[in-house]
Amino acid sequence: MEAKKRKVVLTGGGTVGHVMLNKLLIPCFINKGVEPVYIGSKKGIEKEIIGATSIKYYNISSGKLRRYISAENFKDVFKVMRGVGDARKVLKKEQVEFVFSKGGFVSVPVVLAAKSLGIPVYIHESDITPGLANRIAGKFATKIYVTFKKTLEYVPKGKSEYLGPVIRDELKRGYRDIGYELTGFTEEKPVMIVMGGSLGARSINTFVRENLDALTKEWQIIHLCGRGNYQEGLDNPNYRQFEFVKKELPHLLRISDIAVGRSGSNAIYEFLLNEKPMILIPLPLSQSRGDQVENAEYFKEKGYAEVIQDEELDLETFQTTLDRIEGNKDAIVECMKKFEGGFRPESLVNLLLDGEGQR
């Protein structure tokens, strides 16, 4: 009789930050002879990212989890309940060993369904304080893996483990010559990479473009501005815009001397592991639950970054901050070298499958 194929479910969605890790794990599971199956929402970014891979993708109904009272909450309770039913059907059909959840609204019904069927649930939290979805899911999880050590203060003790950032290896393997070829830049002038998170960042984009002449006097600027945010007519040999880069990113990081960005967890650890001193302009509390403000402050405390609040972003503040980073560059890089390193996606898969995973 043919042996039954080992299968696992991956879930998570809403932003690139909640899907990228799952995408990294897919080839690692396949290499171990295990089939990963995805459960995501009907329209989220996860559908686009995972749809580009070869694995099975199941849509489920999912509601938004709001932190405020709204009539929509009522409808969403039903959507989540329907999602639990949808997810139970998938889990029964696919007979999976466990669910690995990266958070985001869509993951909640999947975790509840797994719990109701006695299927183990592993969750991963990449921000300092867990998001609402992971706070709910955490109650039902078998194990919670975290990116920041500090997060251990906010998750149930006894079933939580610090991993550090799980980073794709190739991000540390860029080539300078490819970086210069992609940008048309030269070695004569330093390079600043501006990365506004997976969706771009409107206020940072506006700031860079309004101050382009002043900024490019001393710097060559790579601007990852986010999909749909390319601006025509900015002809400046020291400025190169990309909406969203994929394979190019390691090479662009390699030639960069400093990184400027929001403070999504993946992005800042990618800068750290590439030893790029950073200016972080976190997504403000008015537009988020404040997770990025916390991430940024933590990186500042550690000596990796300087922070500018979004509402304080102007040329003068930016120049002063830049000067401070420049004056302190060697010390910042020394601090970064002491960071104990990331966790490889292959190791996380070994940990999930066999309970062992070496750094």
18 binds ligand UD1 (CB under 6 A): yes
Binding to ligand UD1, residues 214-233 (CB under 6 A):
224
Q: Is residue 259 packed enough to be buried (19+ CB in 10 Å), middle (13-18) or exposed (0-12)?
A: buried
325 binds ligand UD1 (CB under 6 A): no
**Nearest distance in Å: CB 302, ligand UD1:** 16
Residues recorded for the chain: 359
Applying CB under 6 A, among 17, 83, 179, 277 the residue interacting with ligand UD1 is 17
**Nearest distance in Å: CB 289, ligand UD1:** 8
| DSSP per residue, 162-211 | E---B--GGGG---HHHHHHHHT--TTS-EEEEE--TT--HHHHHHHHHT
Which residues are CB-contacts of 152 (< 8 A; sequence separation ≥ 6)?
146, 160, 162
15 binds ligand UD1 (CB under 6 A): yes
Applying CB under 6 A, among 41, 61, 183, 266 the residue interacting with ligand UD1 is 266
Does 176 carry a binding-site annotation? no
294 binds ligand UD1 (CB under 6 A): no
**Nearest distance in Å: CB 337, ligand UD1:** 21
265 binds ligand UD1 (CB under 6 A): yes
The angle at the Cα of 185, spanning 179 to 186, to the nearest 5 degrees, equals 100
Instruction: Select 273 or 351, whichever has its Cβ closest to ligand UD1.
Output: 273
User: Is the four-CA dihedral 296, 298, 302, 307 of positive or negative sign?
Assistant: positive
Does 66 carry a binding-site annotation? no
277 binds ligand UD1 (CB under 6 A): no
Does 168 carry a binding-site annotation? yes
**Nearest distance in Å: CB 321, ligand UD1:** 20
49 binds ligand UD1 (CB under 6 A): no
CB 163 within 8 A of CB 229: no
CB 269 within 8 A of CB 147: yes
249 binds ligand UD1 (CB under 6 A): yes
Give dist(CA 330, CA 81) in Å, integer: 54
- Strands of the chain, DSSP E: 6-11, 34-40, 57-59, 99-101, 121-125, 143-146, 160-162, 191-195, 220-224, 239-242, 258-261, 278-280, 305-307
**Nearest distance in Å: CB 265, ligand UD1:** 4
Residues that bind ligand UD1 in the complex, under the rule CB under 6 A: 15-18, 20, 126-127, 195, 197-198, 224, 244-245, 249, 264-267, 270, 283, 288, 291-292, 295
**Residues in binding site for UDP-N-acetyl-alpha-D-glucosamine:** 168, 198, 292
